[in-house]
Each structure stands twice: as structure tokens, then as C-alpha cells.
Amino acid sequence: MKFIYGVCIGKDASKVETLKKIGCDFCEVGFSALADAPESDVRTMADQCKKHGIKCLSANGFIPARIRLTGPDVDDAVTLKYLEESFEKLSVLGLKSVIFGSGGARNIPEGFSREEAKAQIVHFLRDLVAPLAEKYGVVVGIEELNDKESNVLNTCAEAMEYVREVNSPYVKLLVDLYHVLLMNESVESLADYKGDISHVHIASPSQNRHVPSPTDPEDYEEFFRVLKAAEYESGAISLEGNFGGDFEGSARVAIEYLRSVEAKINV
């Protein structure tokens, strides 16, 4: 198993050339950001990726906060319209992975039944998302978000409850090391999710979510060993964090460093 490395760039197609320059394997774009943008912006992103030989493999920011997924204001018709139009619009990018974090959309309103909210999220993923994910050949990964960013789906263990209930090959788990460590979740426990990890995000919680660097105290080697033990099939790892005002420099250092960590465990 070999890892491949990408960087989250939102809808900024001008960064694709930089990714090629620093030896990146793929880019991760903003799903709702591009879905809400003019068609020409999506085409420009696709053209830049093709020109520079960078795969547009994944997308985050799946559902905008204006679309409610829990609570009394859920409207399936509105949600489905957004999903159908967005998947069609972004199909030109060739996405393989879509990340469902979307804390603003999924947060449970105060006083609303958590049991009912869970049923709503499961319905959203199983009945609305999964059929479209299958149609467009993507896998949607449920992202755990720490409890400062969301009041539901805060750990990989909790996210896996939803994965199992949805029971679709097109809905799996997104592992984000930043959130795993903030929630004090065992990294070793991730090895239990063989075949269920669809994508990986990485950043340093100790360094204010900066992308990885050699001076970080985090044990990235352990994390990589666990991913291999979990037989993480795609091997795609996205830098999702801040770059300290130096996008190119920080991204280059992070990718070179992570490749050196990977080399250690492949000896």
C-alpha cells in the first residue's frame, strides 16, 4: 500500500499549478463552494487539473449551512434538488470522494430529539445521498468533527454507527487525525475499521491546525501504521489545515515530511 498526498484548495483553481510544482498527487476542492459558483469556475478547475496532471480526487464542504439536515426545518425536496444539481455540475471534475462534515447543516437544534436527529441523518445518507453517489461513482465519507465544531458525530466510533446503519458501499468513514486527537480517541482503534475508511485528512492539533511539519509532537508514524493495518485502500491523504501564510512552502514541507514518515514504515 502506498499513500498519495493532496491539498485542500477550496475553489481556487490558481493553486493547482502550485500543487504540481511541489509534487502533489491530487487536490481536494470545496464541494458547496463550487456548487454555488458559476459553471465557468468549475470548468476552470477541471481544465487546470487536466493541464497540470493533478487529479481532482476529493471534495469537502458537502452541504452548506442553509440546508438543514436535522430538526423541524428539514425539507427533503430542497436537499434533493441541491444534491442532484451539485453532483451533476461537479461531475466534470471526476471526483471519487466527497466528505460529509458540514457541521452547520447537521448540528442538532437545542431541545430537538437526538434520536430523531440521528434518524434524519441516516435517512439523508441512505435515501438521498447514496443513490446519487452510486450514480456518479463517488464515495461519501462521514467526517467526525470535534465537539467545538459540531454537536453530533464527534468521533470515528460514533460515525461508524451511522456507516453501519446506512449500510451502503457508497457511504463510509472519513478519518481526520486533527479531530481524532482533539477528542482523545484512540488512534489504534482506527485499525478496527478495515474496508470502511474512504478518505483521510491530516493536520496538527497542537500547532493550531497547521499542516504537518517535522517539529510537530504528533506521532504521524503510528497513524500511518494504523492506516496500513486498516488496509486503507485508496491511500489518499489530504492536508486540511492552515499554512501559516506560506501556502507553497508549508505544503511542500508537509508532503516531503509525510513521505519520509511513510518511508520509515515501509522499510
pLDDT digits (tens, 9 = 90+) for 215-225: 999 999 999 99
Question: Residue 1 pLDDT > 90, yes or no?
Answer: no
> What does the alpha-carbon distance between residue 219 and residue 15 come to, in Å, rounded to a whole number?
29
Helices (H), 109-246: 114-123, 130-136, 156-166, 177-182, 220-229
> What does the alpha-carbon distance between residue 254 and residue 251 come to, in Å, rounded to a whole number?
5
User: How many residues in the chain?
Assistant: 267
Over residues 138-197, the pLDDT tens digits come to 999 999 999 999 999 999 999 999 999 999 999 999 999 999 999 999 999 999 999 999
Over residues 26-53, the pLDDT tens digits come to 999 999 999 999 999 999 999 999 999 9
Q: What is the pTM of this model?
A: 0.97
CATH number of the domain enclosing 57? 3.20.20.150
Contact, 138 vs 170, CB < 8 A? Answer: yes
* Mean pLDDT rounded to a whole number for the chain: 97
Domain count, the chain: 1
Give the percent of the chain with pLDDT over 70.
100
Contact, 198 vs 97, CB < 8 A? Answer: yes
**Cα–Cα distances in Å, from 195 out to 142, 155, 169, 188, 192?**
14, 18, 10, 16, 9
Over residues 51-74, the pLDDT tens digits come to 999 999 999 999 999 999 999 999
Domain that holds residue 72: 4-265
Confidence of residue 267 (pLDDT cuts 50, 70, 90): low
**Cα–Cα distances in Å, from 70 out to 62, 106, 112, 171?**
15, 6, 9, 18
Strands (E), the chain: 4-10, 26-30, 55-60, 97-100, 139-143, 171-176, 197-202, 236-239
Question: Residue 239 pLDDT > 80, yes or no?
Answer: yes
Helices (H), 141-246: 156-166, 177-182, 220-229
Contact, 255 vs 220, CB < 8 A? Answer: no
Provide the pLDDT for residue 266: 79
Find, among 264, 163, 146, the residue nearest to 209 by Cα: 146
